[in-house]
Amino acid sequence: MHVKQKSIWIVSREYAGIAEAGGVKNVTTSLAETLIKYGYDVKVFIPQYGCYESACLQNYTSLESFYAKISITDELYTVTYAQAESASVPIVFIKNHIFSSKNAVYTYTSFDEKINPLHRRGLGHIDSHVMNALFQKSVLEYALLQKTAPDIIHCQDAAASMLPVYAREDIRIKKFFNFTSFVVTIHNAGSGYHHAYNSIEDAYRVTNLPHHVLMYGLSGGLVEPFVLASKYAVLTTVSPWYAQEIIDPLYPFTDGLSYQFARRNINVSGILNAIDYERYDPADISKSLLCTSYNPLAGDFNGKAIIRSCFLKKTEKGIRGQTDHEGRISKIEQFGSLSSISSTPVVFAYHGRIVWQKGLEILVHAARTLLKECEHACFVIIGQGQPEIEQMHIDISHEFEGRYVYIRGYERSLARECIASSDFLVLPSVFEPCGLEDFIGQILGTLPIAHAVGGLKKIIHEKTGFLYEDNSADGLYTVLKRIYTMFIHEPETILEMKKNAALKVHEEFTWDAIVSKQYIPLYDKIIEKK
């Protein structure tokens, strides 16, 4: 008997190698690739931004005969489509000027600010609600045009979370999706990540959904997409620890969303994000993008010294990006250096967004105390985000010239080189849904030092990294000082931890394991219920 191939559409504002902003890209990409390995019929939907990259795409084709006209805020948008493949994954692009005019996925860039001072670098797009609505409705229109609806539509994070609401409440299309089920994954429920509407009227203006539908999502005057989605979709989040946190009515870092989850008895299941070890494997320089190879799984860390030497040479010369043909500002700026680094340094690194959530203010104050007391301590920080926090890292890089470098911006190979050349990766997040940087550090033989919250609790203390509870400047300094001393006096212990950390990721936190043991049973259960 022929069994119908199950079809899953993944809807996301990000995809690795195409349009990148945060961890959503990693989950979207790896989940899609792994599901295809398991025989699922998969399509990924993503807007085609002005900043999209095409190097990883094959067979890009515009679908000239396919278009949709969609009304939002009394304006009619014409949407067209294109298709391509990335590593065997079918990608469907949603095309409209509102997407192609954007130079970053969610926020304005330096280039945008130069053109329009009101579009401040790092702030979210002022038309983000319209972008989200147009994107989500365009996916549903694609199904109508193709006269096919999948078994499951899996929506990634708040920017895609309203899609199940449109599918179930739009009178024109709801019957078409009678046999489609929906999953919404919450990647971050923190303040500023909900894509909430300011009022019922604001939500109605953008969504055109009935007031009685929107009322269900009310929270302190705001209309919450995640709450609305819970009525029509299965909610998941990116670690079991974060799932427990965000349904706690007293949890302080969701601007009231966790209270609404608890009050309405909304279930959120936690499925831990995995990582593709092979994408970062330092034993394979074609994958790792490093200048030499080494193998933490075998206890071989010799290559890290060579990589550090290469990285030091770059900081001595000054790392700078390039301005493109359209005059967009350089992606990379360096402040400070490691030019006068000690011959026996202990290098602490951070890579990621420079925002309050990540504890970067705490890190600055703790680093300043450690640098004053420990002559061999050095710091490498790479990332971008809130200008005021960036400035704190710029200031300390000048204060400790030669021992503190801040690299503002992002470039994939440089970020990996930064982590691989370091001894420890500091992750002082105020809250953290899952965290992938700890995985990357472990793969590259760089031990994570993390605040024990959310998904960072997957680190096993003093086995695969270090966890600590007091996330104050003094608390973090105390931890860093102890680990600094441990590195100098117990090097064999540190080396054994590095090997254990890499093995743990390689054996247990793969996408094959997570998809086969958690996602596929979830999808099967949902489809069976339908």
Contacts of 27 (CB under 8 A, 6+ apart): 156, 185, 187, 238, 273
Considering the domain boundaries, does residue 214 fall inside one? yes
Cα-based torsion angle of the residue sequence 381, 383, 384, 389 in order, rounded to the nearest 10 degrees: -30
Statement to judge: residues 288 and 155 lie in one domain: no
Reported as a pLDDT band with limits 50, 70 and 90, residue 332 is confident
Q: In this predicted structure, what is the pLDDT of residue 530?
A: 64
Q: In this predicted structure, what is the pLDDT of residue 4?
A: 62
Min mean pLDDT across 100-114, 279-293, 328-342 is at 328-342
Q: In this predicted structure, what is the pLDDT of residue 301?
A: 95
Q: pLDDT tens digits for 350-387?
A: 999 899 999 999 999 999 999 999 999 999 999 988 88
Above pLDDT 90, what percent of the chain? Answer: 79
* Residue among 458, 43, 14 nearest 238 (CA): 458
Burial 70-98 (b: 16+ CB within 10 A, else e): bebeeeebebbbbbbebeebbbbbbbbeb
Statement to judge: residues 234 and 261 lie in one domain: yes
Statement to judge: residues 205 and 291 lie in one domain: no
- Tell me how many domains the chain contains: 2
**Residues 93, 82 contacting (CB under 8 angstroms):** yes
Considering the domain boundaries, does residue 391 fall inside one? yes
According to DSSP, the β-strands at 152-156 and 218-219 are: unpaired
Q: In this structure, what CATH number is given to the domain that contains residue 127?
A: 3.40.50.2000
Considering the domain boundaries, does residue 1 fall inside one? no
One-letter amino acid for residue 235 of the chain: L
Considering the domain boundaries, does residue 309 fall inside one? yes
Statement to judge: residues 245 and 380 lie in one domain: no
Statement to judge: residues 240 and 387 lie in one domain: no
Reported as a pLDDT band with limits 50, 70 and 90, residue 325 is very low
Instruction: Look at residue 322 and tell me whether its pLDDT is greater than 80.
Output: no
Q: What is the mean pLDDT of residues 147-154?
A: 95
Q: In this predicted structure, what is the pLDDT of residue 327?
A: 43
Statement to judge: residues 258 and 345 lie in one domain: no
Considering the domain boundaries, does residue 358 fall inside one? yes
Q: What is the mean pLDDT of residues 179-207?
A: 94
Whole-angstrom distance, CA of residue 248 vs CA of residue 490:
40
Cα-based torsion angle of the residue sequence 398, 404, 405, 410 in order, rounded to the nearest 10 degrees: -130
Instruction: Look at residue 389 and tell me whether its pLDDT is greater than 90.
Output: yes
Q: In this predicted structure, what is the pLDDT of residue 330?
A: 52
* Residue among 203, 212, 133 nearest 169 (CA): 212
Q: What is the mean pLDDT of residues 291-309?
A: 94
Contacts of 129 (CB under 8 A, 6+ apart): 195, 197, 202, 206
Better-scored residue on pLDDT, 22 or 139:
139
Q: What is the mean pLDDT of residues 409-423?
A: 91
Q: pLDDT tens digits for 25-74?
A: 989 999 999 999 999 999 999 999 999 888 889 999 999 888 999 999 98
Q: pLDDT tens digits for 237-265?
A: 999 999 999 999 999 999 999 999 999 99
Whole-angstrom distance, CA of residue 158 vs CA of residue 184:
8
Statement to judge: residues 103 and 134 lie in one domain: yes
Would you call 529 exposed, middle or buried from its count of C-beta atoms within 10 A (0-12, 13-18, 19+)?
exposed
Statement to judge: residues 425 and 523 lie in one domain: no
Considering the domain boundaries, does residue 377 fall inside one? yes
Q: What is the mean pLDDT of residues 507-520?
A: 93
Instruction: Look at residue 2 and tell me whether its pLDDT is greater than 50.
Output: no
383 strand-pairing partners: 408
Instruction: Look at residue 17 and tell me whether its pLDDT is greater than 80.
Output: yes
Owning domain of residue 375: 277-508
On the CB side of 154, how many CA atoms lie within 13 Å of its CA?
25
Instruction: Look at residue 417 and tell me whether its pLDDT is greater than 70.
Output: yes
* Residue among 224, 208, 79, 64 nearest 140 (CA): 79
Reported as a pLDDT band with limits 50, 70 and 90, residue 120 is confident
Reported as a pLDDT band with limits 50, 70 and 90, residue 342 is low
Q: In this predicted structure, what is the pLDDT of residue 331?
A: 73
Q: How many CB atoms lie within 10 A of CB 462?
A: 14
Dihedral sign for Cα atoms in the order 515, 521, 524, 526: negative
Statement to judge: residues 312 and 407 lie in one domain: yes
Considering the domain boundaries, does residue 347 fall inside one? yes
Statement to judge: residues 214 and 248 lie in one domain: yes
Residue whose entry in the numeric block shows the structure tokens 């084709």: 61
Reported as a pLDDT band with limits 50, 70 and 90, residue 313 is confident
Would you call 440 exposed, middle or buried from its count of C-beta atoms within 10 A (0-12, 13-18, 19+)?
buried
* Residue among 96, 164, 157 nearest 130 (CA): 96
Statement to judge: residues 316 and 240 lie in one domain: no
Considering the domain boundaries, does residue 463 fall inside one? yes
Q: pLDDT tens digits for 199-229?
A: 999 999 999 999 999 999 999 899 999 999 9
Q: What is the mean pLDDT of residues 103-116?
A: 89
Statement to judge: residues 330 and 472 lie in one domain: yes
Mean pLDDT of the chain: 92
Q: How many CB atoms lie within 10 A of CB 337?
A: 20
Whole-angstrom distance, CA of residue 474 vs CA of residue 470:
8
Q: What is the mean pLDDT of residues 9-38?
A: 93
